[in-house]
Structure 1
Amino acid sequence: MIVRYKKPYIMSGNTFYSSLLQEWTKGLLKKESLISVFTHIRDIPYAIVPDWNESEDIIRRMITENKGWCGPKHQLLSWMLEQLGFMTRYRYIPFRWQDQPIDYPESITILFPELPSSVHLCLEVFLTGEWKLIDATWDPLLKRAGFPVNTWDGVSDTIPAVCKITHEPNLTQISHDNQEVRITFVRRFNAWLESIREEEKV
């Protein structure tokens, strides 16, 4: 199912987020602030956490637990960039995990035949008179495994975190069986990413 994220208006006036923004941009010029905000959010370890309740403040939970996926990452990035005076809009990219140029372990690839398609959320920000694609999805320790980790200069486009599929499938129809496969995939994928980070730290 495609989740149409709303702009995180609940953060307006929230001292938690305002203090966080101030911490990440204190003493910096506008361009440096953009880069700092992007980098801090990108560096949050990527993890899909389906157990988080949609009714709770998952963006705050992402910060306090130091993990999160493309949705809350780019919601927070959107809010912070707008606080810095820039217009943003969400960009949705339909994709399949099995189409990504990643050397997955066999425990994951065996799930691909039944794994449903997904939708990636990233961001566009209006800079120098045009919309730029900004993607802060993958944290740096995943680079060794082939994930496209972005470094942003505060001006240019970054590359999307995923390769778009050439035709958008019917993403609203997910069978119960496929949903079980998705849950298994998420569990194994998160565990694999953690193992990559641990190897990188050694």
Structure 2
Amino acid sequence: MIDESDLVEIFERVRSLPYDTLAAHDAAGLLVDGRGNCVATAGLLSEELSALGARCRAVSWEYELPVLVDAQQHLAFRSDIHTTVQVRVEGRWVLADATHDPRLGILGLTIGRWDGHHDTEPAYRAVGPCVVHGQDGPGSTQLKGAMERIGRQVEATDPDLIAQYQRDLNELFEGCRSTIDGRATKPYPAERPDPRPSGALTR
């Protein structure tokens, strides 16, 4: 039987890694860079929890981008796709969203807190259906349509503006971390045993 405290410990360790939209985009890169986006966080959390014997699956949904920097006002897109993890607990799937590191709470971003039994609050509220990776159905079709729409909107936006938005956003994140405690963030512990299977998620 899996000890829930072990699951929660892993969740909190992964959540502590800095959220960064320009850094790692998969679990392997997150272990190298020590920071990454929601896909990287979801991939690493799933691998770590699965190594303990927990059943995990990736889920995605469309969400409205929170307005955090001035450059966003000029983007042609207003939403994106979020990816996170569900864990099988006591015969049901519960959300375990470790996307935002705790220091980002100062921006009003949601910080997931997990007790190993119940859903965390999602990092971003869903616009449309929550879709399990690898499962077909109306929700999957709707999400695919959203991804295609967002892709067209991104293509219609000046690449330099997107780059400015990403720089400003991640500088804001880093500024919050420095403001709160003045210390560099700690990398994921490298000395732990590494029984994880290989694998990564896409965006």
Q: TM-score, normalised by structure 2?
A: 0.71
Q: Which residue of 1 aligns with 2:200?
A: none
Ranges in structure 2 where 5+ consecutive residues have no aligned partner: 129-141, 183-203
Q: Which residue of 1 aligns with 2:126?
A: 164
Q: Which residue of 2 aligns with 1:191?
A: 171
Query: Secondary structure of the residue that 1:49 maps to in structure 2?
Result: strand
Query: Secondary structure of the residue that 1:188 maps to in structure 2?
Result: helix
How many corresponding residue pairs? 163
Q: Which structure has the highest strand share of the two?
A: 2
Alpha carbons of structure 1 residues 110 and 116: separation in structure 2 relative to 1, 3 Å: closer
Ranges in structure 1 where 5+ consecutive residues have no aligned partner: 1-28
Q: Which residue of 1 aligns with 2:88?
A: 126
The percent of aligned pairs where both chains have the same amino acid is: 23
CA offset digits 1:84-142 (Å, max 9, x no partner): 11111111011121xx3x6x24x244234x13531100111110110101100000111
CA offset digits 1:128-169 (Å, max 9, x no partner): 110101100000111111111112111111011012224866
- Aligned ranges for residues 81-100 of structure 1 at < 5 Å? 81-97=49-65, 100=66
Query: Secondary structure of the residue that 1:165 maps to in structure 2?
Result: strand
**Does the CA contact (< 8 Å) of 1:141 and 1:200 recur in 2?**
yes
**Within 1, Cα distance between the matches of 2:146 and 2:120?**
28
The one-letter amino acid paired with 1:110 is Q
CA RMSD of aligned residues (A): 2.3
- Aligned ranges for residues 12-161 of structure 1 at < 5 Å? 30-49=3-22, 58-97=26-65, 100=66, 104-105=68-69, 107-112=70-75, 114-115=76-77, 117-161=79-123
Higher relative contact order (CA 8 A, sep 6+): 2
**Does the CA contact (< 8 Å) of 1:111 and 1:185 recur in 2?**
no
Stretch of structure 1 that moved more, 33-42 or 72-81: 72-81
Query: Secondary structure of the residue that 1:93 maps to in structure 2?
Result: strand
How much has 1:59 moved relative to structure 2?
Answer: 2.4
